[in-house]
């Protein structure tokens, strides 16, 4: 089962040619979840062969243009392409009013956009059979949220040889995958651990952008498999970063270490950085399992 994150844009406020404004796409089992929607997101989706029509939910972190200005165009294109399925949009409360204004001057999309205002308190905001999504506040110049996407515990896998050996009826298989023991016709109890092997471990991904260094987020991202944490600046710009409520490479790496993340992806680079390798090296001095977000990169978990 797929659980992957594709970076559609990794730039800070000002996009550059090879780095569009912020957007990430999470794919789980054929379903698409879009996180932030900077200008040009719909073009990036096309560039990387990802159909916008498959997006079920959009999560918007905060009301800055470089995280939202792609939304009117994306909704418009979905409508023109004949979308009828409702879209769930999670974002700061003012986002709903902003979109109403866009609809008033242009046209509303021809499908339903179901808006969910992000809560002030950390909270689970979405759940389906395979996944939960929770949000929590970051610390930026305006209200900003981080998101954690968490697969549900996966069922154990039944051993085919045991099905044959004990002649297990098909009707009993779901129960055994869920952890039941099996009772044979003779009344013998076969313990579950003999019949099954563990399923693939549940995977998780957290998105934290934009934010200054802030340990308050640690409980909500603890143990995450992949942490995306912004690193707008190099370490020598720590004062500037704090002033504008952004993070340096080293801030991001410290958060990853304290959160016991398995892997860190940095991004949201200031347009002034032509070369990203030095940013990567800085982060790795603190947290070795760091990678660079680049437009088009897909991380499979």
The residues that touch a second copy, with contacts defined as CB under 8 A, are 13-17, 20-21, 39-40, 42-43, 46-47, 63-66, 68-70, 72-73, 76-77, 80-81, 94, 97-98, 101-102, 105-106
Closer Cβ to a second copy, 98 or 297, answer by number: 98
Nearer to a second copy, 67 or 254 (CB): 67
Decide: helix, strand or coil at residue 278: helix
Do 10 and 294 meet the contact criterion of CB atoms below 8 Å apart? yes
CA 231 – CA 81 distance, rounded (Å): 36
**94 vs 179 by CB, closer to a second copy:** 94
Query: How far apart are CB 84 and a second copy at their closest, in Å?
Result: 17
Which residue of the set 29, 36, 66, 128 is catalytic?
Answer: 66
Write down the least CB distance from residue 42 to a second copy, Å.
Answer: 7
Q: Taking a C-beta distance cutoff of 8 angstroms, is the pair 296, 48 a contact? A: yes
* Residue 71: how many other CB atoms lie within 10 Å: 26
Pick the closer one to a second copy by CB: 119 or 296: 296
Q: Give the Cα separation of 287 and 264 in Å (integer).
A: 8
> CB of residue 55 vs a second copy: minimum separation in angstroms?
16
CA distance 250 to 266: 10
Q: 181 catalytic, yes or no?
A: no
Quickly count: other Cβ atoms within 10 Å of residue 153's Cβ: 9
Task: Give the nearest distance from C-beta 141 to a second copy in angstroms.
Answer: 10
Instruction: Provide the annotated active-site residues.
Output: 66
């Amino acid at each position: 089962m797929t659980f992957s994150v594709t970076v559609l844009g990794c730039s800070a406020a000002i996009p550059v040619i090879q780095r569009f404004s912020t957007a990430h796409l999470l794919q789980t089992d054929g379903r698409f979840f879009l996180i932030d929607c900077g200008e040009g997101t719909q073009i990036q989706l096309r560039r990387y062969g990802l159909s916008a029509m498959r997006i079920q939910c959009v999560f918007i972190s905060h009301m800055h243009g470089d995280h939202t200005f792609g939304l009117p165009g994306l909704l418009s294109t979905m409508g023109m392409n004949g979308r009828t399925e409702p879209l769930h949009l999670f974002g700061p409360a003012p986002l709903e009013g902003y979109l109403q204004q866009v609809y008033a001057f242009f046209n509303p999309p021809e499908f339903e956009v179901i808006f969910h205002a992000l809560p002030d308190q950390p909270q689970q905001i979405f759940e389906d059979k395979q996944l939960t999504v929770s949000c929590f506040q970051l610390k930026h110049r305006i209200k900003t949220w981080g998101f954690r996407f968490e697969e549900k515990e996966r069922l154990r896998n039944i051993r085919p040889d045991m099905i044959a050996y004990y002649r297990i009826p098909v009707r009993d298989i779901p129960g055994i995958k869920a952890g039941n023991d099996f009772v044979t016709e003779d009344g013998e109890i076969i313990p579950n651990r003999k019949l099954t092997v563990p399923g693939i471990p549940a995977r998780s991904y957290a998105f934290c952008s934009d934010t200054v260094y802030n340990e308050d987020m640690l409980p909500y991202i603890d143990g995450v498999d992949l942490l995306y944490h912004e690193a707008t600046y190099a370490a020598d710009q720590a004062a500037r970063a704090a002033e504008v409520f952004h993070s340096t490479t080293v801030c991001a790496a410290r958060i990853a270490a304290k959160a016991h993340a398995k892997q860190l992806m940095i991004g949201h680079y200031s347009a002034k950085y032509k070369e990203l390798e030095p940013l990567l090296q800085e982060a790795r001095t603190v947290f070795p399992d760091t990678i660079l977000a680049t437009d088009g990169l897909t991380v499979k978990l």
